[in-house]
Amino acid sequence: MKTYKTEQIRNIALIGNAGAGKTTLAEAMLFEGGIINRRGEVTSKNTASDYTDIEHDFENSVFSTLLYTEFKDHKINIIDTPGMKAFAGAVTSSLSVTDTAVCVINTGDGIGAGTESSMRIADKLNKPVIAIANGLDHENANFDKILEEGKARFGGRMTIVQYPVNPGNEFNQVVDVLKMKMYQWGSDGGEPEIIDIPESEKDKADELHNELVEKAAENDEALMELYFDKGTLTEDEMRQGMKLGMKDSTLMPVFCTCAKKDMGIRRLIEFIINIVAAPNEYPMREELNGKDVKMDTDSPASMFVFKTSLEPHIGEVIYFKVMSGKISEGMDLINTSRSNKERLSTLYTVAGKNRTKVSEIVAGDIGATVKLKETKVNHTLSTKDADYKFAPVEFPKPLTTVAIKALSEADEEKVGEGLHRLRDEDPSFIVNFSKELKQLIVQAQSEYHLNVIKWFFDNEYKIEIGYKTPKVPYRETITKAAQSDYRHKKQSGGSGQFGEVHMIIEPYEEDMPAPKHFKIDGKDWQVSLRGTEEHELPWGGKLVFCNCIVGGSIDARFHPAILKGIMEKMEEGPLTGSYARDIRVCIYDGKMHPVDSNEISFKLAGRHAFSTAFKNADPKILEPIYNLDVYTPSERMGDVMSDLQGRRSIIMGMGSDKGYEKISAKVPLKEMSNYTTSLNSLTGGRGWFTFEFDAYDKVPSDVQQELLKAYEEEQAEE
Ligand SMILES: Nc1nc2c(ncn2[C@@H]2O[C@H](COP(=O)(O)OP(=O)(O)O)[C@@H](O)[C@H]2O)c(=O)[nH]1
Ligand SMILES: [Mg+2]
C-alpha cells in the first residue's frame, strides 16, 4: 500500500440512526476507492464493517469499525459507528479521533433518535458535520421532510448542496448547487453522467445556489465583500467559506446518496477530500504533561489508543491514531499511562475485517497493532523522551444499573473476569463489586447495552448469567435524643469480663452547639463535655463521639473500644443492617471492675448501649435522592411528567432547551430503575436524561414499614 503524508489524510466518522445506511455507505466508499472489488450487503452479512458475530446476530452495528478508502492520492479513514443510543460510547471515542462527522439520515424514515443522540455528541465535541440524505430510492423517500425536521432539531445550519430530482423507486438524478450541474446515474450507480441542469430545475437550483453562497460567505468578511462586489463566489471561494461555516457549526452541508446502489458516493468522497482538512489543521488533542505536541512527521512518535477488540485468530487488536511523528514496525514505545515498554511488532491499516500490513504509519493517520502487553483504551504510547500523555476520551456516564449474577456459583469468578474484559473494550459501562450491597453491579447505557453483555456470556464465555434490580444503598439515622446504658458482665472460670457504658445519642447536625443539657422523655440530663472526636464516615455523614465522663468512671484507655463497638453497629444499622450516619454520642458515665474490665467488654457494652439508644431515638431510614434532568420533545411533556410523579419525584424546574422541554426533578434512586426503558417508550426513543447523586433523605413512613418488614423476612430466612 502507498504511504501517505499527513496532508493527504482525512479522518471522518459516520454517525446517525441505526438503519440509516452508514455501513452500506462505508461499503460503497471502499468500493469506489478500489479497496474492495464487490459491494457486500448488510443483509447478506458480508460487509467490510459489521463483520463480528454479535453484529450478525443483532443485525445491527454494535461496535465502531475502522475502515479506509483511497481516492485521488488521499487516504480517508472512516469510522463506522453504531447508531443506537446504547452505543454512545463508541460514537464518542470515534468522534474523538476524527475531524468531521458524516451524519447519515434515512430519507425513507426520518431523523431518528439515534441521529439526535449522535449529533449531541458531535456538537459537544465541536465536530463539523456533513449531512447525508440517504435512501433516496425508497418508495416514500421524503427529502423536504427530512430537511424540515433536521432544521427543527439541529438549527438552521442545514444547507442544501444537493437535492434529489426524482426521489422514489426511480431515483437517479441529483442537482448539485455548488457545482451547478446535474448528476445522473445508470442503474448500477458508480460514475455519474454530469449534465447541465435542465430548464425545469433552473429556478430552484439558482435559488438554492444563492442560499448556499450566502451561507458560505457569512462567516468571513472578505468573502462577504467579494460576494457583494461580484454577486457570486467561485467554487474555491465557496469551499473556503463552507469550511469556516462547518468549523463554527453554522453550516451543515446536505448531500444526496443512495448508498445501496452506489449513487452519489464518488462526489461525496471528492467533497470530503476538499472540505475536510488534513488532521494537522485541527486543534491538537489536549496533552496532560504540559507538552507542546505537533502533529507532524518530524516530531517524536506518539499514538493514542481509542479502541481495542478481541478478534478470532489474531487476539487483541489495538486501534490507535498517530498523534505525532511516525510509528514504524518494530519500534519500542513507552505506554505513558502504565510506564511499561511496548513493542510494535506489526502494524496494520484496517478496512474492517480486512487488515493490510504496513511498515509505517504517519502523524494523523489511524491504524492498528496487536500483541501489546498492557495497553488499553485511552492510553498513550510515546517515545521515552517525549513522555506525552493525551487527555482520555470522556465516555458517556452510564444510565442503567443492575446486579449481575452467575446462575451457577462455580462461575462467579469467571463472571467478574468476563466483565472486566468487556469493560476494557467498552469503557461506557462500569463494573464494581459493592461491599455494601454484596452484589456485583453493572452500570450501562441502557437495557439494550446490557443485552450485548449478556450475548457475550451466552455465546463466547458460555456462562449463564442473570440480571436483577440492584439493592438500594439505604442509610439509617435518628431523629431525637435517647439515653441508654448497658452492662456487659460475664463470669467464666478464671478471669471474667466487665464493662458498663451510659450514653445519650442525638441527631448530628452541622455547627450544633456542644452538648450540655438534654430533656429525654420528660427527664432532664446534664453532661459536661471533656473532649470531642469527629469521624467522617466512609459511607457519608458523620459520627461525633463526645467524652463527658466525670470522676474517671471509665478509664481513657477503654474509650477507643467503646467507639469501636459503636462503629460496628453503625456499619450494620440496627433497623435494616444499612449504614448509619449523622449521630452524636455522649458517653457520660459507666463502671469498671478492677480485674475483669478489658477492651472487649467495653466494646460490647458500647455496641449494645448504642443499639438500644438508636431504637429509642425515633430512627429513620434514609434513601439516596438524585438530581434528574430530563429532556423530552414537547408533545410528550405531559406523559413524562406524570410518569415522574409516579416515581415520588419533586419537580424543581422546567425550561426549553434546543427544541426540547427540560424538566429538573429530585427522584429517589429506588424509583429510577428501568427509567431508560420507560423514557424511551414514552418519547419514542427521543427523550434523554442525566442524573447525579444529590443527598440522602428520609423515606416516607409507608416505605419505611415495607423496608422493615422486608428486612425482618430476610433475617428470618437466614
Ligand atoms: N433502498 C435502500 N436501502 C438502503 C440504502 N442504504 C442502506 N440501505 C439498507 O438499509 C439497511 C440498513 O443499512 P445499514 O448500512 O446497515 O445501516 P446502518 O445501521 O446505518 O449502518 C440495509 O438493509 C441496507 O441494505 C439505500 O440507499 N437505499
Ligand atoms: Mg451500521
| Tens-place pLDDT, residues 540-582 | 999 999 999 988 899 999 999 999 999 999 999 989 999 999 9
Q: How many domains does the structure of the chain reveal?
A: 5
Same domain, 210 and 65: yes
Asked if residue 610 has pLDDT above 90, the reply is yes
Residue 166: the pLDDT is: 96
Give residue 82 CA to ligand 2 midpoint distance, Å.
5
Ligand 1, pocket-test mutation among 14, 22, 24, 118, most atoms within 8 A of CB: 24
Q: Is residue 614 one of the residues assigned to a domain?
A: yes
Written as one letter, the residue type at 386 is A
Give residue 85 CA to ligand 2 midpoint distance, Å.
13
Q: Is residue 66 one of the residues assigned to a domain?
A: yes
- 3-state SS assignment for residue 55: helix
The atom of ligand 1 lying closest to the CA of 16 is 20
Q: Is residue 698 one of the residues assigned to a domain?
A: yes
Same domain, 687 and 580: no
Same domain, 61 and 13: yes
Q: What is the mean pLDDT of the chain?
A: 94
Is residue 416 exposed (0-12), middle (13-18) or buried (19+ Cβ within 10 Å)? middle
Distance, CA of 447 to CA of 216 (rounded, Å):
43
C-beta of 189 in contact with ligand 1 (< 6 A): no
Ligand 1, pocket-test mutation among 65, 67, 260, most atoms within 8 A of CB: 260
Q: Is residue 659 one of the residues assigned to a domain?
A: yes
Final residue of a structural domain among 416, 446, 468: 468
Q: Is residue 577 one of the residues assigned to a domain?
A: yes
Q: Is residue 718 one of the residues assigned to a domain?
A: no
Same domain, 642 and 552: no
Q: Which ligand is nearest the CA of 90, by number?
A: 2
Say how many C-beta atoms besides its own lie within 10 A of residue 523's C-beta.
8
Q: Which residue has the higher pLDDT, 47 or 508?
A: 508
Same domain, 135 and 215: yes
Domain housing 82: 6-281
Give residue 32 CA to ligand 2 midpoint distance, Å.
18
The atom of ligand 1 lying closest to the CA of 17 is 20
C-beta of 258 in contact with ligand 1 (< 6 A): yes
- 3-state SS assignment for residue 454: helix
Same domain, 275 and 419: no
Same domain, 524 and 605: yes
Q: Which residue has the higher pLDDT, 161 or 718?
A: 161
Helix (H) or strand (E) holding 425: helix 412-425
CATH of the domain at 658: 3.30.70.240
The atom of ligand 1 lying closest to the CA of 27 is 15
C-beta of 81 in contact with ligand 1 (< 6 A): no
Residue 47: the pLDDT is: 86
Same domain, 652 and 562: no
Same domain, 625 and 614: no
Instruction: Dump the DSSP string for 289-320.
Output: T------STTSPPEEEEEEEEEETTTEEEEEE
Nearest CA to ligand 1 atom 14: 21
| Tens-place pLDDT, residues 683-693 | 999 999 999 99
Grid cell locating 660: 426540547
Give, as one character, the DSSP assignment of residue 671. Answer: G
C-beta of 39 in contact with ligand 1 (< 6 A): no
Ligand 1, pocket-test mutation among 17, 25, 42, most atoms within 8 A of CB: 42
Residue 711: the pLDDT is: 92
Same domain, 612 and 628: no
C-beta of 22 in contact with ligand 1 (< 6 A): yes
Same domain, 565 and 431: no
Say how many C-beta atoms besides its own lie within 10 A of residue 713's C-beta.
10
Give residue 95 CA to ligand 1 midpoint distance, Å.
22
| Tens-place pLDDT, residues 406-444 | 999 899 899 999 999 999 999 999 999 998 899 999 999
Q: What is the mean pLDDT of residues 689-709?
A: 95
The atom of ligand 1 lying closest to the CA of 20 is 20
Length of the chain: 718
Check the CA dihedral 289-292-294-295 and report its sign: positive
Same domain, 65 and 178: yes
C-beta of 19 in contact with ligand 1 (< 6 A): yes
| Tens-place pLDDT, residues 612-648 | 999 999 999 999 999 999 999 999 999 999 999 999 9
Q: Is residue 290 one of the residues assigned to a domain?
A: no
Residue 717: the pLDDT is: 85
Nearest CA to ligand 1 atom 28: 135
Q: Which residue has the higher pLDDT, 414 or 188?
A: 414
Helical segments of 183-327, H only: 199-217, 221-230, 235-247, 265-275
C-beta of 23 in contact with ligand 1 (< 6 A): yes
Whether this model's pTM surpasses 0.75 = yes
